[in-house]
Structures are given as C-alpha cells and as structure tokens.
C-alpha cells in the first residue's frame, strides 16, 4: 500500500540494526491506514540524517545498536525536531538503562515481545501527547525506584499527605497515561491549571517528570497499574 505524506498520516522512523526487524515493523506500520514508515536507520549517524531529512512524528528506537548506545542518542535526536516523540522498542530489561532512557527524553517504552497491536496503540497514545510504558518494564522500574526511595528518602506518607484532593486526582490521571489536555477535560479545568498542579506535585513528591510521577504513583498505589503488571506495594501509612 503506497501512502503519501499528509497532515492526517503519521510519519514513523525506524532505528534498529537488524534489517529483518525493520522489515517486520515496516510491514506492520505501512499496513495501517493512518501511518507509514518515512525512513529507516541502522546506526546513530543514519538516525540523525533520518530525523533531519524526513522529520518523523514518531521514532521507534532500539537501545542496542551493536557498538552504539541508543540511550545516548535520545537527547540529541529529540533536540533536532521539536515535534519528535521517541518510543524505545527494546528487549533490554535492565531497569537502570530503561530509567536512563526515560530521563533522556523517551516517552514510550515497549518490550519487543509485545503484540503488534500493542505497538500500534502505543504509537497512537504517544503521538496524541500521552505516555506509554510496557507493563513488564513498569514492574522492573517500580522495583528499581522502590529500592532507591527506601535508601534515600524519609517515609513517603508525609509527601503523599501533602497533596491536595485535586492533586491526587491529577496524579491518578497521569498514571493512566493521559496528557494535560485530556486531564483538563476530565476534571473540567484549564490546561494551565493542570500544569500548575503538576509543578506543585513534582515539588512535593520530589519527582522530575511525568514518567517518574507515573512510576511513583504505581509504587505507592496512587494510580491503578496497567493490566498484567505485578501489583506494587500500597502507599505507606
């Protein structure tokens, strides 16, 4: 199926050093009516050229590119295009590496063992301003964050108790992966008000971004875990 560029069709770039993997992803994505693969890359330099010349909306990036580190590419690739949203598609399970990918600017993490329909759903979610974390990856990250919090922080109950009722509602909706516009609509408030709430929440809970807030919410029972994710410990009392 041949597709031409239009405002309604998503442009997806592929970065993976395995040609067979790229071919499978291209077949899957080009089969969709609202997206197409605008280019492929197997190395970091090729990825930069892809982003510069094809201006994709979404970049599917493998972290293991042979001798190159995909995590180190995320920040520089995102800086090329203000609209680019990067989804990490990987078989790696190391929570430290995955957490670094999030900190570098990735807005989606998907395990390569997931079903094709899950990848398509994730692309739609991320392109619409949301965040996507694979359940198995969430479990690993929650365990890693949990261990870190226990070593360095006072009981989290004090921080959680400082949140207002509205802030708790915002945390719950962030945990569902909703973007600010959707949270505003759900709560009948403005996007500016949502941003103000998020600034306050980040400060009170000592988290740096929405993805870390999601992990915190899952860890302490402030948001429902995605289906299939091992249950995290409840909020401390």
Residue range 52-102, pLDDT digits in tens: 999 999 999 999 888 888 898 999 999 998 889 999 998 877 777 888 888
pLDDT score of 82? 83
pTM passes above 0.75: no
What are the structural domains of the chain? 10-133 (3.40.50.2300), 139-219 (1.10.10.10)
pLDDT score of 175? 87
Report the run of H or E that residue 56 belongs to, with start and end.
none
Q: How many CB atoms lie within 10 A of CB 145?
A: 19
Residues in the chain, pLDDT under 50: 1-6, 151-152, 228-237
Three-class SS of residue 137? helix
- Main-chain phi, psi angles of 9, to 5 degrees: -110, 125
How far does CA 196 lie from the centroid of its chain? 22
pLDDT score of 59? 97
């Amino acid at each position: 199926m041949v597709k031409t560029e239009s405002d309604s069709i998503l442009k997806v770039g592929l970065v993976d050093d395995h040609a067979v993997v790229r071919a499978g992803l291209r077949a899957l994505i080009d089969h969709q009516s609202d997206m197409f693969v605008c280019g492929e890359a197997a190395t970091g330099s090729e990825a930069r050229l892809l982003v510069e010349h094809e201006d994709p909306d979404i970049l599917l990036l493998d972290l293991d590119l042979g001798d190159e580190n995909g995590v180190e590419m995320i920040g520089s690739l995102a800086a090329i295009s203000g609209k680019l949203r990067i989804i990490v598609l990987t078989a790696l399970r190391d929570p430290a590496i995955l957490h670094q990918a999030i900190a570098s600017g990735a807005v989606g993490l998907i395990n390569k063992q997931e079903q094709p329909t899950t990848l398509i759903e994730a692309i739609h979610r991320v392109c619409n301003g949301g965040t996507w974390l694979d359940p198995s990856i969430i479990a690993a990250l929650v365990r890693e964050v949990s261990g870190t919090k226990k070593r360095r922080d006072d009981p989290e109950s004090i921080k959680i108790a400082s949140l207002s009722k509205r802030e708790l509602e915002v945390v719950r909706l962030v945990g569902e992966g909703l973007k600010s516009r959707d949270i505003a609509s759900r709560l009948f408030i403005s996007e500016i008000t949502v941003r103000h709430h998020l600034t306050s929440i980040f400060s009170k809970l000592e988290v740096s971004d929405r993805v870390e807030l999601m992990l915190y919410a899952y860890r302490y029972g402030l948001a429902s875990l995605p289906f299939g994710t091992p249950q995290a410990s409840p909020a401390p009392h």
